[in-house]
Each structure stands twice: as structure tokens, then as C-alpha cells.
Amino acid sequence: MATSARLPCRTTTGGTGSGVRPVERRRAWLAAAAVASALALGLLGACASPRAEADAVPVAPVAASGDCLAPQVLAALGLPQDVLASRSPHADAPQAGRVPEGFVPVSVLVCELDGTLRDSEGVWSAVTATRLEGDLDALVAALSVPSSARSDGGGTVCAQESPVPPVLWLVDAMGRAVRPLWPTDRCGAPQSGVGDALGALEEIASDTYPATLRQGAGLSG
């Protein structure tokens, strides 16, 4: 089983020229999110009148650090609960929410599913943790935009499947972290402004970890 002591299987560090795979994966995800968002936005003129504004988002608690292998993070990335229950636990992550007043991030930790890894124990679901730095003002501003009220039908056409966004941790100079809620559009898809802001940041390091054991080494099929 995966534990917090398990070493990452792939590591890249540095700025320009490093971490090609995470950069390409993020570009592909951003393209998919942009298509879903454009589909919803392009048809707003034909939609029914929006309902009342979305409920206020609670303030995200500040954690001692960010963790891409916390069970709540893995669940948000779409790993099934029965799979999560079989792994060695990491500490729980606080709920996602609004960035607290006075919290000043200096970097962002991006948690994404990244296919599979194979080792002597078997085949693992993989999670990549990528650290980005730069001017985070645009990202914080994009995260502060409220989610749109969900459509009740009324002419709105949504993509059949919305892309699952990465889980984000904003990290301050002391290493403390908050898990911001990614605002969504009328279809429930992630708003593209956050992705655009992430795309403007510089990748500093990327580590890929085995998250959950999908198939033991002694099993076949």
C-alpha cells in the first residue's frame, strides 16, 4: 500500500525546459476546459433567466501543508471510495473554500491524476504534484469569482462530460496551505479563468507518486 514515506517515482525540477509531461498534460486539460466553458457561455443568450446567486462559499481552513495524496484530494480527482479505503491513509485535508483574508500565497501546488505507474508491487494509479510560482494575483482573483447558478435546463446546452479540474493548494511563505474551491459555470464545469491564470505561472518542480494500488504484481488481467 502507498504510504507517506513512499518516494516519488518521477521527479523533475527547474524552470523552463523541465517537466515537459506535466506542462503538456495541463495544456491538454486547459483546452478541454475551454471547450466546455465556451459551449456554456456561447449559449447563454438562449438560456432561461439565471436563478439567485450561488450560496456564499465558506472560508477555507489553513492547513500545515498541502498534500496531493490526502483522501479528500484523491476523491476530488475522481478515485472511487472503495479504492481509497484500501490505501494507507494520509491526513485528512480541510474542506475547500474561499481564500482567507490576509492569506498571501507565494506558490501553488497542482494535484492531477497522471495515468499509472508500475513497480515490484504492481500497477498504481498515479498522482502528479506540480509546484508553480509567479505573480499569483490573477489566480487569486480568478478563484474569488463566484460560481454561476446552475442551469435548470431552460435552453442551456452543456457538454456531456465536464473535465475534472486539478485540485489546488495555495501555499504561503511559511509552507501553510489552503485548498481553494474552483468556481464553476452554469453547467457545473470549471470556469476557464483559473486555468488561464495557472497557464501564466512558471513550473518549478513536479513529482509523481503512486496513489492507489490498482493491480497487485501477482494478479493478471
User: Around 154, how many Cα atoms within 13 Å sit in the side-chain half-sphere?
Assistant: 15
In a domain, 150, yes or no: yes
In a domain, 5, yes or no: no
Q: Which amino acid is at 17?
A: G
The Cα 144–Cα 129 span in angstroms is: 23
pLDDT class for 125, splitting at 50, 70, 90? confident
The Cα 167–Cα 160 span in angstroms is: 21
In a domain, 32, yes or no: yes
In a domain, 24, yes or no: yes
Q: Which amino acid is at 105?
A: P
| Count of structural domains, the chain | 1
The Cα 29–Cα 217 span in angstroms is: 31
Predicted local confidence at residue 56, as pLDDT: 77
In a domain, 53, yes or no: no
Q: Give the range among 57-61, 94-98, 104-108, 123-127 with minimum mean pLDDT.
A: 123-127
In a domain, 67, yes or no: yes
b/e map 58-96, b = 16+ CB within 10 Å: eebeebeebbbbbbbbbebbebeeeeeeebeebeebeeb
Q: Is the pLDDT of residue 220 over 80?
A: no
Q: In which domain, by residue range, is 195 found?
A: 11-41+62-216
pLDDT class for 20, splitting at 50, 70, 90? very low
In a domain, 56, yes or no: no
